[in-house]
Amino acid sequence: MSHPKPRPLTLSARGPLRGTLTVPGDKSISHRSLMFSALAVGESRIEGLLEGEDVLATAAAMRAMGATIERGDDGVWRVHGVGVGGLLQPEAALDMGNSGTSTRLLMGLVASHPITATFTGDASLSSRPMGRVIEPLSKMGAEITASPGGRLPLMVRGINPAVPIEYTLPVASAQVKSAVLLAGLNTPGITRVIEPVPTRDHSERMLRGFGAELTVEEGPSGKIISITGEAELKPQHLIVPGDPSSAGFWMVAASIVPGSEIVIRNVCMNPTRTGLIAALKLMGADITKEGAREVGGEDVADLRVRHAPLRAIEVPPDLAPSMIDEYPILFVAAAFAQGRTVARGAHELRVKESDRIATMRTALEAAGVATEEYEDGLAIQGSGGALLPGNAQVASRLDHRIAMSMAIAALGAQGPITIDDVAPVATSYPDFFQTLEALGQ
């Protein structure tokens, strides 16, 4: 997939943000909704699916392997699945665009089917290592040929029957866990993943909802997740809640712009995803949960956020797995806090769409923020609520979260901030800038 032409954008401070908004459907849940529906026999219906480029890459890949996937005029997606074990040989390479989640989870699916699939991606995705998924899938019998450094393009030659394994995650990664569980779906016997540090559990919740035999228990080394193979998944009607990672941008925006008050509707409150809310509340943010409810097995609520002065904290490292994607916007909140915030324990940021530690340090320093870089995070000297100097040119490094985070930073900058390329925002939040305009009216 060739990257679209760069789209630079200049933003500057504006008045209070006010209004009610909904954020796009949760990206993690959207990916899994399509994959699991494609493995069920019969028609599943999905409402609220995130229609960003990453999720559309998953839809295209599942179509290429035999599923029928269509979006109705009513916005509801209908998926006719092929059944576990029924994936077909794709005729061409699977283009994953910028989506690491699609790549790693689909590698797991292919690993236990008697098919061969080649995975390609854009320049950003092709720079990201896949070794952590290659290792367990190879133990199950899949043959994986990758580019140097365990990168894309790579080819997965699946095996059937695959070998069930017991695998302890060496790093906290929901993607690696999910890849092994998905390979286990079509593997005779019981496949186990041991998770020393909890990570987002959307796969476990949704697989159970589709009828897979999956258990979670506490063991001496952490959670033991067991899946019984040769599963039969039943079609479902799914409602995808709002993405807490996308909501994070507006939580920070309302917190740092004086006079702001917003309500974000229908946000996923899965406890493995609410680390940013916990961190912002420690900093003094005014975030209230309203109308808590359960939708499709996930906790959901509306969030009311009002401007509040933020204070620096040492971010508890144990929050890292539940907010790994939100660190860039947390760094922006820290830039406006009173005092020096230290956020560590996030090694994983080095291998995201960009090296998010180095990229955010460079961007914030360009905007006039003093930072100190560690191997696993940043220390940030806050402005105490004062406007940042701004007058900066920053590079997004083809990373949607960097682009959106620096757009929010610009709302509290004295001089304009120009982001070299905001086109990658379409991978996860196509309406981000329209929402920003509407809240600022």
26-73 pLDDT, tens digit each: 999 999 999 999 999 999 999 999 999 999 999 999 999 999 999 999
Residue 296 has pLDDT above 80, yes or no: no
Evaluate whether the domain defined by 27-238 bears CATH number 3.90.1150.10. Answer: no
Query: pLDDT exceeding 90 applies to what percent of the chain?
Result: 90
Query: What's the distance, CA 19 to chain centroid?
Result: 25
Query: Regarding the domain delimited by 9-25+241-439, which CATH topology (the fold level of the hierarchy) does it fall under?
Result: UDP-n-acetylglucosamine1-carboxyvinyl-transferase; Chain (3.65.10)
Residue 297 has pLDDT above 90, yes or no: no
State the pLDDT at residue 57: 97
Other CB atoms within 10 A of residue 68 CB: 13
**Same CATH fold, 27-238 and 9-25+241-439?**
yes
Mean pLDDT of 358-374: 98
Which strands form 151-157's sheet, in the order they lie side by side? 94-95, 116-120, 151-157, 143-147
Is the whole-model pTM more than 0.85?
Answer: yes
- Active-site residues, by number, are 325
pLDDT-based confidence at residue 124 (cuts at 50, 70, 90): confident
Mean pLDDT of 354-377: 96
Tell which wins on pLDDT, 124 or 289.
289
Nearest to 241 by CA among 73, 20, 30: 30
Question: Is residue 214 within 8 Å of residue 227, measured between CB atoms?
Answer: yes
Residue 2 has pLDDT above 60, yes or no: no
pLDDT-based confidence at residue 5 (cuts at 50, 70, 90): confident
- 191 Cβ partners below 8 Å, 6+ apart? 140, 164, 165, 166, 167, 180, 181, 183, 184, 226, 227, 229
State the pLDDT at residue 348: 85
Q: Which residues define the annotated binding site for 3-phosphoshikimate?
A: 27-28, 32, 173, 175, 325, 352
Mean pLDDT of 323-327: 93
Backbone phi and psi for residue 235, each to the nearest 5 degrees, phi listed first = -60, 150
CA angle in degrees (0–180, nearest 5) for 392-398-404 = 60
Q: Which residues define the annotated binding site for phosphoenolpyruvate?
A: 27, 100, 128, 175, 356, 401
Residue 104 has pLDDT above 70, yes or no: yes
pLDDT-based confidence at residue 368 (cuts at 50, 70, 90): very high
List Cα–Cα distances, 178 to 90, 107, 231, 335, in angstroms.
22, 10, 15, 35
Q: Which residues define the annotated binding site?
A: 27-28, 32, 100, 128, 173, 175, 325, 352, 356, 401
pLDDT-based confidence at residue 354 (cuts at 50, 70, 90): confident
State the pLDDT at residue 15: 92
State the pLDDT at residue 1: 46
Residue 179 has pLDDT above 90, yes or no: yes
Average pLDDT of the chain is: 96
Domain boundaries, the chain: 9-25+241-439, 27-238
State the pLDDT at residue 170: 95
pLDDT-based confidence at residue 276 (cuts at 50, 70, 90): very high
Other CB atoms within 10 A of residue 89 CB: 14
State the pLDDT at residue 4: 67
State the pLDDT at residue 352: 83
State the pLDDT at residue 3: 58
